[in-house]
Amino acid sequence: MSTLITPHTDKRMAEIVEKVQNGQRLNLEDGVYLYETDDILTLGQLANEANLRKNGKKVYFIENMSLYFTNVCEDRCAFCNFRKDQGEEGSYTLSGEEMIQYVEQHIHPGVREFHIVGGHNNHVPFQYYVDSLKALKEKYPQVTLKAYTAAEIDFFTRISGLSIKEVLTELRNAGLETLTGGGAEILSDQYRKKMHVTKANVDRYLEVHRAAHELGMRTHTTMLYGSVESYEDRINHMLQIRDLQDETNGFMVFIPLSMQPKNRNAGIMRRNSAYEDLKTIAISRLMLDNIDHVKAYFINIGPQLTQVALSFGASDVHGTIVREQISHAAGALTPAGLTRKELIWLVKGAGRIPVERDTFYNEIEVFE
């Protein structure tokens, strides 16, 4: 019998432990049960074992920088405090040159990835989004462009009249190397209706990633949890990602994003508890047996809880970021970025081995 099963382990949890340890996949009912249980330590240990089998004690980070070309957005997702209307105070749309000026002011020498997302600004043509990438790539050819969410790609198809693959190919010719994971929120059309998420629907989100994978791109994927969705919605979200991964093997990492509480009209009663955040990371690790990494995103859960998450199944702590804006607009209380030194401290402080990586998880330096 597994050493994780003790006289205090209930029957249902014992069944799940045995399933995982025998290499069997968890189903919807298992996932929901793991959210309902208060046996967080068994859950954590099980997820920790699953992660150690995949990644050993290595925990990955990257020197990167987040960039936001525009905050003007035609959509009005209920949880978003970043978006503005065109002409509204605080709205902006930067040209390639203006973005380069911003980068020059804030970049630090080791940055190897630009993480680029923004609003769905229909006051500028698709060519603007292509030229923005081109300008950055010309100026910083050594930096990987991880740009746009699946929802942005879907938006570009609408303003350009091109297909998903045509949009991706044009962007790729301009320097795009991978998509960010945003825009998934909760993959449920009912949730999307409740939260006024009128951008890419569930099928479209998955279709964009499928198309990117078919073009040979490896991408990222997220889940924004902590508002009106049920546990069942969260597990169904993970199962849809797992199914697509079975088909394409194109996702590098799953990123659970803890909802920030500023927009109270979005059904968010309070900040997620640390308990809920740890459970979500551990359950993600167990449900998504075909994705290499689960990320603990310190921007949304804080550096200290990120350390604990490394014993609950997480194997990635994102990167330096420099100046995060979206979660901070929504009320994040965390630092807007961490230095390379601080990330190494964070991982070592959790008893793990920090590994500096590139965007595609190739190892740059291991800090044994």
Note the residues at the interface with ligand SF4 (CB under 6 A).
73, 75-77, 80, 82-83, 119-120, 151, 199
Kindly tell me which of 151 and 314 has the beta carbon lying closer to ligand SF4. 151
User: Cα–chain-centroid distance for residue 239?
Assistant: 16
User: Cα–chain-centroid distance for residue 118?
Assistant: 15
Q: Flag whether 77 is marked binding.
A: yes
For residues 296 and 111, is the Cβ–Cβ distance under 8 A? no
For residues 296 and 314, is the Cβ–Cβ distance under 8 A? yes
Q: How far is the CB of 258 from ligand SF4 (least distance, A)?
A: 15
For residues 253 and 359, is the Cβ–Cβ distance under 8 A? no
The β-bridge partners of 219 are 251
User: Cα–chain-centroid distance for residue 29?
Assistant: 24
For residues 222 and 256, is the Cβ–Cβ distance under 8 A? yes
| Residue 343 Cα distances to 51, 60, 280, 305, 360, angstroms | 19, 10, 22, 13, 18
* 353 CB neighbour count, 10 Å cutoff: 15
d(CA 156, CA 261): 29
Q: How far is the CB of 319 from ligand SF4 (least distance, A)?
A: 21
> How long is the chain?
368
Q: How far is the CB of 151 from ligand SF4 (least distance, A)?
A: 6
31's tokens? 């996932």
Kindly tell me which of 184 and 282 has the beta carbon lying closer to ligand SF4. 184
d(CA 259, CA 304): 17
Closest CA to 80 of 235, 202, 198, 230: 198
Q: How far is the CB of 83 from ligand SF4 (least distance, A)?
A: 4
Kindly tell me which of 55 and 260 has the beta carbon lying closer to ligand SF4. 260
Q: How far is the CB of 330 from ligand SF4 (least distance, A)?
A: 9
d(CA 76, CA 85): 10
Largest distance between two CA atoms of the chain:
65
Kindly tell me which of 83 and 237 has the beta carbon lying closer to ligand SF4. 83
Long-range contacts of 42-45 (CB under 8 A, 24+ apart): 42/4, 42/9, 42/13, 42/17, 43/13, 43/279, 43/282, 43/283, 43/286, 43/312, 44/278, 44/282, 44/311, 44/312, 44/313, 45/4
Kindly tell me which of 80 and 171 has the beta carbon lying closer to ligand SF4. 80
Kindly tell me which of 12 and 196 has the beta carbon lying closer to ligand SF4. 196
Q: How far is the CB of 300 from ligand SF4 (least distance, A)?
A: 14
Q: How far is the CB of 268 from ligand SF4 (least distance, A)?
A: 14
Kindly tell me which of 40 and 78 has the beta carbon lying closer to ligand SF4. 78
d(CA 173, CA 131): 11
Give φ, ψ of 191 to 5 degrees. Answer: -60, -45
Q: How far is the CB of 185 from ligand SF4 (least distance, A)?
A: 8
Kindly tell me which of 17 and 195 has the beta carbon lying closer to ligand SF4. 195
Per the annotation, binding residues for [4Fe-4S] cluster are: 73, 77, 80
Per the annotation, binding residues are: 73, 77, 80
